[in-house]
Amino acid sequence: MNTTEQMIRKHNFNSGPSVLPKEVFEEASASILNFNNTGLSILEIGHRTPLFENVLEEAVSLVKELMHLDSDKEVLFLHGGATTQFFQVPMNLLDEQAKAAYLDCGTWGTKAIKEAKLFGNVEMVASSKDKNYTYIPKGYTIPEDAVYFHYTSNNTIEGTQMHAIPETKVPLVADMSSDILSYNMDFNRFALIYAGAQKNIGAAGVNLVILEKDMLGKVNRKLPGMMDYRQHIEHHSMLNTPPVFAIYVCLLTLRWLKKRGGISAIEKVNDRKAKLLYDTLDSLPVFKPTVAREDRSKMNVVFIMQNPELEKPFLDLCKQEGMVGVKGHRSVGGLRVSLYNALEMESVEALVSLMKHFAQKHG
């Protein structure tokens, strides 16, 4: 028996990098030894070869197909993670004298605002900082003279999610790092979407950026080539050596999603997972969800223990039962469970059963 056969998979509730489908792990590891029966590893093929060009082309076309994107949308795979998009977006879209509108609804959004201020004027339309970002602000006005309106669709750290696209004529820009591909929405409403891959799309090291070309070329500043979306569009995400393996893992995950029935099918599973977990939390008084009910995230479930002294015994029990990633982000504390696309229902069922036992013992 080899080590893989002996390995018992953990229930992985990590917030990112996070669980990917088992078959993606299997195919990706097979391709490290022998990619598509070429006698070469995926790690050693040239990026400017048909071998890799086909990978990239299929990944781009699966993104367009799964998200039902209009033909005028450009799909890019770029380096640098979502954090690079915090400055690449304003660098390309926001002139020094112009104004962008931002919603401040979590740690990541705050970072995006800080970076945007380096390039132009930022109007913060609303903030939920007053209550530690435990809700999504509503009823704010987006200034019509803003060149774009930026928000974080799902707040990975705080566990809130925007459940409707804001109504506005201002071009929409969204950081969808932690809920992209998890439920159906009209992705064509956005002028620009970006997402780090390591939550719902694939392996860390690459960013998915979807944008409208006619937003570009309107700022006066000079842009370094690697920061200029127009150059990446022109060179089909191959301005320099792309993160070949990370893009390949995205392709495998996108294929898996298509096989599972696409976004609408995975949305139903995600709804069931989130409902089971929130219902359990609501029914057991030892646990206390921290987020306004109507803004609860279906991807990241954040809660605390009614009695803080029970946090350690609960985490110890999770560890003992092979559950990882249940501890909350260091900045907010408490507990957090991430339910990304690749997390199977049975992992949520196992956690729920553990929670019930724990509540019986300590309730």
Ligand X SMILES: *Cc1c(COP(=O)(O)O)cnc(C)c1O
Element of type H or E holding 75: strand 73-78
Among 24, 74, 78, 81, binds ligand X (CB under 6 A): 81
* Interface region with ligand X, contact rule CB under 6 A, candidates 25-33, 78-86, 118-126, 258-266: 78-86
Q: Do 349 and 35 contact (CB within 8 A), yes or no? A: no
184 part of the interface to ligand X, by CB under 6 A: no
Among 92, 161, 178, 347, binds ligand X (CB under 6 A): 178
Cα torsion 149, 233, 183, 8 to 10°: value is -130
Q: Cα–Cα–Cα angle for 115, 120, 124, nearest 5°? A: 70
325 part of the interface to ligand X, by CB under 6 A: no
108 part of the interface to ligand X, by CB under 6 A: yes
Cα torsion 63, 65, 69, 72 to 10°: value is 90
341 part of the interface to ligand X, by CB under 6 A: no
Q: Do 146 and 101 contact (CB within 8 A), yes or no? A: yes
Catalytic annotation present for 199: yes
Catalytic annotation present for 282: no
Q: Residue 16 or 137: which CB sits closer to ligand X?
A: 16
Q: How far is the CB of 223 from ligand X (least distance, A)?
A: 20
159 part of the interface to ligand X, by CB under 6 A: no
The CA-based diameter of the chain, rounded to the nearest angstrom, is 66
Q: Residue 162 or 323: which CB sits closer to ligand X?
A: 162
194 part of the interface to ligand X, by CB under 6 A: no
Catalytic annotation present for 108: yes
Give CA separation, 252 vs 22, 62, 68, 341, in Å. 11, 10, 19, 14
Q: Which residues bind ligand X (CB under 6 A)?
A: 16, 81-83, 108, 152, 156, 175, 177-178, 196, 199
Catalytic residue set:
108, 175, 199
